[in-house]
Amino acid sequence: MTKSNKHEFTVSELAGSLKRTVEDAFGHVRVRGELGRVTIARSGHVYMDLKDDRAVISSIIWKGVAGKLSFRPEEGLEVIAEGKLTTYPGRSQYQLVISKLEPAGAGALMALLEERRRQLAKEGLFADDKKQKLPFLPKVIGVITSPTGAVIRDILHRIEDRFPCHVLLWPVLVQGDKAADQITAAINGFCNMSPGGEIPRPDLLIVARGGGSIEDLWPFNEENVVRAAGNCSIPLISAIGHETDWTLLDLVADRRAPTPTGAAEMAVPVRVDLAEGLARNAMRLTAALRNLLQSREIALISARRGLPKPEELLASAAQRFDFVTSRLGAALTRRIERAKLLLQQRISGLRPNILRTGIERRQLQVTAFAERLIPAANNRLRRQQDRLRSATKLLGALSHKSVLGRGFALVRDERNALVTKGSNLQDGQKVQLEFADVSRPAIIGDGTKTTRPSRKKPKPVAKNPKQGDLF
């Protein structure tokens, strides 16, 4: 077997040679394709597949480049990628390191935007019944926008001109890959403020940004921003771009303003106009009251002309009073005479024999009632006596006296408490014996206190230490 003189590569040498060859040949490429799998690692790098109908290229966007993207890469989006082709020796695969990524024209973004709009509309996120009414005169307004742009200056200047109030600014990015997350956090942060806290909770929110391309305005089309605005408990005005621009945030907001300045005009009324309106209303109210009083005064004068004089109103009543007074004396005399006549008629009907007959009839009724009452009372008395005798016998049977009559006695101690157990008594203790007829004092034992003999066992006699034990 002849030995070959060809150079032998190590695996690392061959992988490195392939890497240099690919990078030299494809140091800068521009590729158009559709995004397949998109994965955002914890490190911030973005891994994805760039594909068409016949091939797939693994691609990666480093963290620094991903943070500068104007839109969020999503599966199915057609893009144009620029970068260099390299290899990954650890897995024997080639990949595209992307330095710039942009949608393949506005048509791709618009198609994605329309699909997302249909999906969120199907969920009812844009329904009119979910829109909140803007407060007429908010005390605190929360603004979510960039702190360095002209938008915040225009809003503050317009509010100051119309009706100055307290404005809270939540600074966020309004362009780039991180903008959507910051805008979402700002909306949720304002909503989570507690009323009456150290920082006042806004009565109205304004999310604003200046004009730009669809790529620049894309953070306001992200799903997390739209859902945060839909769940916001504070009325929200969307002021994104110019009047011709529109985003999904405009559809979910409670009101859409054509410009950030227009949002400030929607937020607060003009104080001068309000003052002039109040003054005009006060003047109209004063004039109306004056006209009302004048018309009522004229009506009162007209009504007074048709009323008769007070003397004429009282004349007929006074005449009737005089007529009645003149007839009062004769009427009283006739009334007294009729009463006397009626009294005489009643007296003539009262005779002694009539009264006597009535008394006798009442006596007979009383006698008959008494004859019925006495037997009933006697029967009731006998029944009560029988019940009393029965109760007396039962009481005697249950009394301890009957037990004592059979030869028993009750024992009580010095406190007159009943003794039920002999073990509770000691020798020499005084007791009281109660018999059936009398009570007698007694003393337990022979009258002197004695001590009980000790029950302790006698100590055993110590054995003689010199004597041995048989056991």
Mean pLDDT by 10 residues, the chain (471 residues): 67 80 82 85 88 85 83 79 85 85 70 83 89 94 92 93 93 89 94 89 94 82 92 94 85 93 92 89 94 92 79 78 83 89 79 77 86 86 90 79 77 84 83 84 69 49 48 41
Number of H helices, E strands in the chain: 12, 13
**What is the pLDDT, as a whole number, of residue 330?**
85
**What is the pLDDT, as a whole number, of residue 450?**
47
- How far apart (Å, rounded) are the C-alpha atoms in residues 408 and 436? 8
Residues in the chain: 471
Q: Whole-prediction pTM value?
A: 0.47
Q: Count Cβ neighbours within 10 Å for each residue of 33-64 and write b for 16 or more, e otherwise.
A: bbbeebebeeeeebebbbbeeeeebbbbbeee
Query: Structure tokens of 39?
Result: 């994965």
Residue with tokens 């249950």: 398
**What is the pLDDT, as a whole number, of residue 33?**
86
Candidates 262, 180, 194, 174; CA nearest to 234 is 194
